[in-house]
Amino acid sequence: MQGVHLLSTIVVLALASFLASATDPGPLQDFCVAVNDTKTGLFVNGKFCKNPDDVVAEDFFTSGLNMPGDTSNRVGSNVTTVNVDRIAGLNTLGITLVRIDFAPYGENPPHTHPRATEILVVAEGTLEVGYVTSNPNKLFTKTLKKGDVFVFPIGLIHFQFNRGHENAVAFAALSSQNPGVITIANAVFGSDPRINPDVLTKAFQVDKYVIDYLQKQFWDAN
């Protein structure tokens, strides 16, 4: 019986731990450098909280997602983000919403969200979407039409591409108030300062002039 009670205790503690960390248990920033002077420090994993007596409905509201984003850029897409910076009431709730607009043959280039899983629904048009697993890098891809839904697991490289002749629109929810985004091409070829070309030449197994050319391009972020 002692073993049964011990097992029951472990299960209860595990469930309690899961429930307690159901919002944003991980860091909400890329790094946190320690400081001794708290007056110059920053509050991490969220923002300072408003006095509950001062909270109003507007703290949980925004508008404008009916308006299309400007897709007149080189990738042909635009991401409109609704996060804690736009709705203060999202603080600590562990969720972000985005609207993604696509010009014909526009794409949301391969990227990752280091702190969030993403679930996407197509509102208009047809999208080719997919993600790549960690090594050995299996591709999961699907063509989505209006009303179709697809999930991109946390931290994995994924993309969306408008295969149609018309504009496309999608909405997505991400499981963090600050999911972060790393656009692969920008990070590899457009970092500041630039990655040593010798490193990339070796990694991609191409001539150095190819890397030099890519690093000279202006990379659009979304």
Query: Is 5 labelled a binding residue?
Result: no
d(CA 170, CA 163): 13
Query: Is 158 labelled a binding residue?
Result: yes
Considering only CA atoms, which of 81, 98, 102 is closest in space to residue 160?
102
Query: Is 118 labelled a binding residue?
Result: yes
Write a three-state SS string for 31-66.
Answer: CCCCCCCHHHCCCCCCCCCCCHHHCCHHHHCCCCCC
- Exposed e or buried b per residue across 20-54, where buried means at least 16 C-beta atoms within 10 angstroms of its C-beta: eeeebeeebeeeeeeeeeeeeeeeebbbeeeeeee
Strands 77-82, 96-102: pairing kind: antiparallel
Query: Is 108 labelled a binding residue?
Result: yes
d(CA 53, CA 28): 26
Q: How far from 176 is each of 56, 171, 193, 206, CA to CA, in Å?
A: 23, 15, 29, 38
Query: Is 66 labelled a binding residue?
Result: no
Contact 45, 27 (CB under 8 A): yes
Q: Could you tell me which residues are annotated as the binding site?
A: 108, 111, 113, 118, 158
**Can you say which residues are annotated as belonging to the binding site for oxalate?**
108, 113, 118
Which residue ranges make up the annotated binding site for Mn(2+)? 111, 113, 118, 158
